Amino acid sequence: MGESQLIVEYNRVRIARKWMKKNEPFLQVWHAHLGFSLHLFTAFQKPQTPNDVAEQYNYRLDLLERWIEVGVALGHLKKKRGNKLQSDRKMVKYFSDASNQSIGMLLKEMVELHIPTMLTYRHIVQGEKAAILEEDFGDIVAQTSGLLESVMCPKIEKIVKKHKIKSLLDVGCGHGGYLHRLNQKFSDMRLVGVETDEEVQKQAVLKAKNTDITIIHADFLQYTDESTYELIMMNNLFYYFSYEDRLKLFKRAESLLPSGGIFLIVTPLIRSRHGQRFATGFNSFMSAHEQMYPVPTEKELISYGKQAGFKRDQSIPVIREGGWYVLVFKKK
């Protein structure tokens, strides 16, 4: 083998090693997802043997032991005396159902919904029919959307204060997280949420019990209300609507706002200044589903706004690495 061929082979091996290493971070996601979905971090919250947990949950011991080996290597589990294992405290805190700080649903959405869809992409792009998981993920999506609230809410609160808002309609309110946070800050504000998923709406109604928050089960495009609102907000909804219906959303919002009223949109944007790795990947996922649509661009939303009688007031990057923005439109 000549020197030039050796260099070619060396570079090939170097690139192969590089791409192998790129897979390693997913091992952490896989392990954490299994630990959350199978309640294993909770099971090992106190030191337990693999046999005890396998018997308690009726799991296969050999595969449980493989999961444990990975967990020890990653630092998710710690070895204890007597062949016992214990979950790292952070894994219990962030990946157990019982924890009020759990982010496990985020991994569940990614591993069970997003990744399977992306793996079918090579079939879909060739025009083939692919079995995309169409399980009802409404509740999971509502919970993961709630993770954005702590980041988005301070921005929304500033806009509410700036415009002295006294009435607000949250379209696609999910479990009503934003409404509850706003209710704590602005107790005299009229707060109404509209949710199209009936099961999610029922849960939201239960959570709003003993508050002045109203949660309505309705399709916003068909929703009628005799009163108007000073601010209408819409969080992460545009990729559920076709281009034609997106303009209808703006027009529907315009009909429920007085002159000078605010239409506030929280959404990832493609072809924006920030977070395009995530936004383009997310856009690929959305485009693969027949009932979902591409992530919008800022230019597109501004165009809808003009056609519906709005002018763009603000564009605020909130989660830069994800390309998430708060867009504020004011009715003319």
CA angle 44, 47, 48 (to 5 degrees): 70
User: Does residue 125 carry a pLDDT above 90?
Assistant: no
pLDDT of residue 287: 73
**Long-range Cβ contact pairs of 186-192 (< 8 A, separation 24 or more):** 186/160, 187/212, 189/160, 189/165, 190/166, 190/229, 191/167, 192/167, 192/168, 192/216, 192/229
- Distance between CA atoms of residues 151 and 141, nearest Å: 17
48 in helix, strand or coil?
Answer: strand
User: Does residue 286 carry a pLDDT above 80?
Assistant: no
- Distance between CA atoms of residues 102 and 202, nearest Å: 22
Confidence of residue 142 (pLDDT cuts 50, 70, 90): low
134 in helix, strand or coil?
Answer: coil
Q: What is the mean pLDDT of the chain?
A: 90
pLDDT of residue 93: 96
User: Does residue 135 carry a pLDDT above 60?
Assistant: no
Indicate the range of 92-96, 265-269, 284-288 predicted with least confidence. 284-288
Confidence of residue 137 (pLDDT cuts 50, 70, 90): low
13: which 2 tokens? 């091996």
pLDDT digits 0-9 by tens, 5-16:
888 888 999 999
**Nearest-10 Cα torsion for 71, 75, 27, 320:** 140
pLDDT of residue 323: 81
Q: Where does residue 66 rank: exposed (0-12), middle (13-18), buried (19+ CB within 10 A)? A: exposed
Cite the DSSP H helix spans in 165-270: 177-185, 198-207, 243-255
Confidence of residue 130 (pLDDT cuts 50, 70, 90): low
123: which 2 tokens? 């079939």
| Average pLDDT score over residue span 219-236 | 92
Indicate the range of 24-33, 62-71, 226-235, 316-325 predicted with least confidence. 316-325
Q: Which residue has the higher pLDDT, 141 or 257?
A: 257
16: which 2 tokens? 């192969």
On whether the CB atoms of residues 32 and 107 are closer than 8 A, the answer is yes
Confidence of residue 138 (pLDDT cuts 50, 70, 90): low
Percent of the chain with pLDDT over 90: 63
pLDDT digits 0-9 by tens, 20-70:
998 889 999 999 999 999 999 999 999 999 999 999 999 999 999 999 999
Which are the contacts of 128, defined by CB distance < 8 A and separation ≥ 6?
none
The dihedrals phi and psi of 173, each to the nearest 5 degrees, come to -75, -10
User: Does residue 176 carry a pLDDT above 80?
Assistant: yes
Exposure string (b/e) for 10-33, b if CB count within 10 Å is 16 or more? eeeeeeeeeeeeeeeeeeeeebbb
pLDDT of residue 295: 86
Domains of the chain: 3-102 (1.10.10.10), 147-278+291-331 (3.40.50.150)
76: which 2 tokens? 């998710």
- Rg over alpha carbons for the chain, rounded to the nearest Å, is 24
Confidence of residue 78 (pLDDT cuts 50, 70, 90): very high
pLDDT of residue 3: 73
User: Does residue 310 carry a pLDDT above 60?
Assistant: yes
pLDDT of residue 230: 98
On whether the CB atoms of residues 229 and 139 are closer than 8 A, the answer is no
